[in-house]
A = this chain, B = another copy of it.
Amino acid sequence: MISVKQALSIIEKFKYSIGTEYIAPNKALGRIVSENVLSKTDNPPFNMSAMDGYAVCNKPFNRVYKVVGEIFAGRSMSRKKILKNEAVRVYTGSKLPQGATTVIIQEKTKVLDNNFILYTNNCLKIGQYVRKKGLDFKKNKTIIKKGKILSARDLALLISANCKKIKVFKKPKISILSTGDELIFSEKVKKDSNIFASSLYMLESLIQLSFSECNYKTIVKDDKNKIKKELSKATKSDIIITTGGVSVGKKDLIRSSLIELGYKEKFWKITMRPGKPLLFGILKSKPVFSLPGNPVSTYVCFFIFIFPFLIRVLKLKNNYYKKIAKLTNNIKFISKRESYLRGFFCKKNNENFVKCLSNQDSSLLNMLATSNCLIKIPGKKKYSKNMFVEIILFPPLF
């Protein structure tokens, strides 16, 4: 048995990369950029009017201009150039003609006869109401940095920069195998001794929330041949997660199946509660995480070990939300192992508080769903009300 810290360090030492792919920016929400993205164009691509008005040259200063044309946004004018005393009617987004250096807004003009306008102000600055070519960003400059998780705003930026394809990290593809004779799929009709494989769906969602995808999920009976067959199949994925059958009972066949398939064990069993039988190893160069079968243990092991692993594979910063909080109740629960208890965090008057939920049995989904954090308790220590503890908040939708 090794400690949680040792286990995390072994996982961290395992070097693994998933590779990159090119995708269109409009499909890239929430994806992680794997290299700096350069703009393919200036934005605006030309000097552009920022208002409705008239494009003119600011020098020499005139009061009266002859309107020689009109340019709508998205259009050009047949005459490419204007002279010093000429003006062109423009609108927000219109391309300025050659020779125009500034824009007079329509509110400051009076329309005269014969296509003449009068400017009613006393000065005319160069570049006024003009969005200069490249004001937003310039061609071949970095607009998005490597490692950024793309937001809705980023997509707009990439599209306006004419980036047709961007390089992002592939989503790690994960197979989930839930083992147990008692397990059934959620849509099935339940017989008395059956248990729904709730962890299967929970893990699928957690994977999705961890910038990854579950490309295969199944339930496997407690039968070594079946388990071995499914494990072999799962090596087509980037990562394998199993639940259940990893302890020391008669029906705990995961480890022996992996050994028979020639996997390389990195560790088995940790001094943690819940999560003691956790196993980590490599099967045909693919990492295998075998989690205990109780849904709370499954959840805690995913959150503490697999989530940071995925974050690291995707070269993100570990954005675990760790805090120190004051206990609002005594913790009756003492274990020799480092414990991760379900807690409820809240903030009052800028101070962090956490309540340790009443029942910490690792089968209790109701308690897990009610909680919003884990309380990390070192082994053997007793904690009582008003003491400070380390907590880890769950990310949104986790």
Chain A residues proximal to chain B, CB less than 8 Å: 24-26, 29-30, 41, 43-46, 48, 50, 52, 72-76, 91-93, 95, 131, 135-137, 143-144, 149-157, 159-160, 162, 164, 180-183, 186-187, 190, 192-199, 201-206, 208-209, 222, 247-251, 293-295, 299, 359, 361, 363-369, 394, 396-398
Given A186-B24, A250-B91, A251-B91, A397–B135 Cβ distance below 8 Å? no
Q: Are B46 and A196 in contact (CB under 8 A)?
A: no
Q: Are A152 and B73 in contact (CB under 8 A)?
A: no
Kindly list the 7 A-B residue pairs having the minimum CB-CB distance in the complex, ordered from nearest.
A74-B182, A152-B205, A156-B202, A156-B198, A74-B181, A159-B198, A73-B182
Given A41-B190, A160-B295, A152–B182 Cβ distance below 8 Å? no
Taking each of A25, A181, A295, A366, which has the highest tally of chain B beta carbons within 10 Å of its own beta carbon?
A366
Alpha-carbon distance between A2 and B74 when the two chains are bound, in angstroms: 31
Alpha-carbon distance between A198 and B25 when the two chains are bound, in angstroms: 10
Q: Are A156 and B365 in contact (CB under 8 A)?
A: yes
Given A136-B366, A205-B155, A92–B397 Cβ distance below 8 Å? no
Q: Contact partner of A201 among B72, B155, B182, B197, CB < 8 A? A: B155
Neighbouring B residues of A164 by C-beta, 8 Å:
186-187
Neighbouring B residues of A72 by C-beta, 8 Å:
181-182, 222, 250-251
Q: Contact partner of A369 among B30, B41, B153, B209, CB < 8 A? A: B153
Q: Are B190 and A368 in contact (CB under 8 A)?
A: no
Instruction: Pull 8 A–B residue pairs with CB atoms less than 8 Å apart, ordered by A.
Output: A50-B361, A73-B251, A74-B182, A74-B193, A143-B369, A151-B369, A156-B369, A159-B197
Extra contacts besides A160-B195, A162-B190 (10): CB < 8 Å: A30-B397, A43-B365, A52-B249, A93-B195, A136-B363, A143-B369, A153-B299, A155-B201, A156-B369, A157-B198
Neighbouring B residues of A364 by C-beta, 8 Å:
135-136
CB distance from A105 to the nearest CB of B (A): 11
Alpha-carbon distance between A281 and B293 when the two chains are bound, in angstroms: 54
Q: Are B295 and A192 in contact (CB under 8 A)?
A: no
Alpha-carbon distance between A316 and B30 when the two chains are bound, in angstroms: 23
Q: Contact partner of A368 among B157, B192, B361, CB < 8 A? A: B157
Neighbouring B residues of A198 by C-beta, 8 Å:
155-157, 159-160
